[in-house]
Amino acid sequence: MNIVISGASSGIGFEVAKQLVALGHQVFAFARNENRLKDLQKECDGDGLFIYAFDITEFDHYPELISRISTKFSKVDVLINNAGALVNKPFEQLNLKDFGTSFSVNTKAPFYLSQQLLPLMGEGSHILNISSMGGYQGSSKFPGLSLYSASKGALSILSECMAEELGEKGIKVNCLALGAAQTEMLEKAFPGYQAPLSANEMAEFISDFAINGHRYFNGKILPISVSTP
Domain contains 59: yes
What SS3 class is residue 36? helix
Task: Give Cα separations from 101 to 10, 24, 229 (angstroms).
Answer: 19, 35, 26
Where residue 190 sits, what CATH number does that domain have?
A: 3.40.50.720
Give pLDDT, residue 10: 87
Mean pLDDT for each 10-residue chunk of the chain (229 residues)? 96 94 97 96 91 98 98 98 95 98 98 98 98 84 91 98 97 92 62 64 93 97 75
* pLDDT tens-digit readout, 53-69: 999 999 999 999 999 99
Domain contains 38: yes
Q: Which domain holds residue 160?
A: 2-224
* Helical ranges in the chain per DSSP H: 11-22, 34-43, 62-72, 96-103, 109-117, 146-166, 184-189, 199-212
| Nearest in space to 170 (alpha carbons), one of 77, 107, 108 | 77
Domain contains 203: yes
Overall number of domains in the chain? 1
Give pLDDT, residue 184: 65
Domain contains 56: yes
Domain contains 77: yes
Which residues, 6+ apart, have CB-to-CB distance to 129 below 8 Å? Answer: 81, 110, 155, 156, 158, 159, 173, 174, 175, 176
Residues recorded for the chain: 229
Domain contains 86: yes
Give pLDDT, residue 2: 99
| Nearest in space to 74 (alpha carbons), one of 110, 122, 29, 112 | 122
* pLDDT tens-digit readout, 194-210: 655 667 788 999 999 99
Domain contains 229: no
| Nearest in space to 54 (alpha carbons), one of 69, 42, 40, 75 | 69
Domain contains 22: yes
Which residues are the active-site residues? 148
